[in-house]
Structure 1
Amino acid sequence: MRAKALYLAAALSLLVDQATKIGVVFGLDLVTRLRLDVLPPLLRFRYGENRGINFGLFDGDGGASRWILIVVSLLICAAVYLWVRRSHADRTVMQVAAGLVIGGALGNVVDRIAYGYVLDFLNMSCCGIQNPFVFNVADIFIFAGAAGLILYEGRGKNPA
């Protein structure tokens, strides 16, 4: 039953990520408008094409880097899946956290395959601090899932 939590979390995070990208980038025509202030400075939509990893690191226009990042993402998904299924198959919170990581990563893989880059559109700033970076909902799921895996990894184990 707990394995269903992983699959459900992965599927929902993938679907929500893709729906928000389609809705904001294409539905609100951000791809042409490039910027839309929703609740400035807290929430702004800014069109971005990320050809690298987080914050544009390892940015490359070559097709090889695109496919390398796709393969690396898929390998990470497989590793997270195998680790959680083997070590934490009985822990729902770990299954959900792994599902968030996997679903978010797959959302970005879908983008790389479909567009050649990851669609980013969220920009958030607060309290006088100006954030120059854009990200997407998949990044939120990956971060939240990774945080969950780290925070809950040692919990629930019987002490030796």
Structure 2
Amino acid sequence: MTLLAAVDLGLKAWAGTALADGQSVDLGLIQLRLAFNPGVAFSLGADLPAGVVLGVTGLIVVALAVFAWRATRTVTLPARLALAAVLAGAVANLVDRAADGVVTDYLHSGWFPTFNLADVFITAGAAALVLVSLTGSDRAED
């Protein structure tokens, strides 16, 4: 989990420097382009005070961490990995937001809002959790 969060935070730091002058890097299906999001997913809550967004997301991350900690005793490895991905993305975005009230985004597709690797971790982890739950393979055998 820590490694995933560190990779995202490192990329955010790089993007903040390398793309600061409005530059973009075309990688084919996706571009690297700097953007800042004061809200949460899809800029929801962008008009709220930064402290409110930080506080609410902080509480959600703590609740998620407690849930993940308790769940690791009873769920399978795929479910644990999925929880770790979600938590890593949430922590990385929270740490980024704590610095200045915004989350640094740097992945732009042209047809979808600009996002970051932490968002990918959260989305992929959540999708994996749904998948393991639907297949019934989320609980470890006793």
**TM-score normalised per structure 1:** 0.75
CA RMSD across the alignment: 2.1
Deviations 1:54-113 (A, max 9, x none): 11011125133233333233234224414522431xx11111111000011000000111
Give unmatched runs, 5+ long, in structure 2.
none
Distance of aligned partners of 1:21 and 1:157 in 2 relative to their CA distance in 1, 3 Å threshold? closer
Secondary structure of the equivalent of 2:45? Answer: coil
Match of 2:119 in 1: 139
Distance of aligned partners of 1:98 and 1:132 in 2 relative to their CA distance in 1, 3 Å threshold? closer
Match of 2:49 in 1: 62
Match of 1:32 in 2: 21
Aligned 8 A contact 2:61 2:91 in 1: yes
- Aligned partner letter, 1:148: A
Identity of aligned residues (%): 29
Secondary structure of the equivalent of 1:32? Answer: coil
1:155 correspondence with 2:125: no
Match of 1:115 in 2: 100
Larger Rg: 1
1:104 correspondence with 2:89: yes
Q: What is the count of residue pairs matched by the alignment?
A: 138
Aligned 8 A contact 2:54 2:101 in 1: no
**TM-score normalised per structure 2:** 0.84
TM-fit CA distance, 1:50: 0.9
1:47 correspondence with 2:27: no
Secondary structure of the equivalent of 1:134? Answer: coil
Match of 2:12 in 1: 21
Once residues 133 and 114 of structure 1 are traced to their aligned partners in structure 2, the CA distance between those partners, rounded to angstroms, is: 22
- Aligned partner letter, 2:8: D
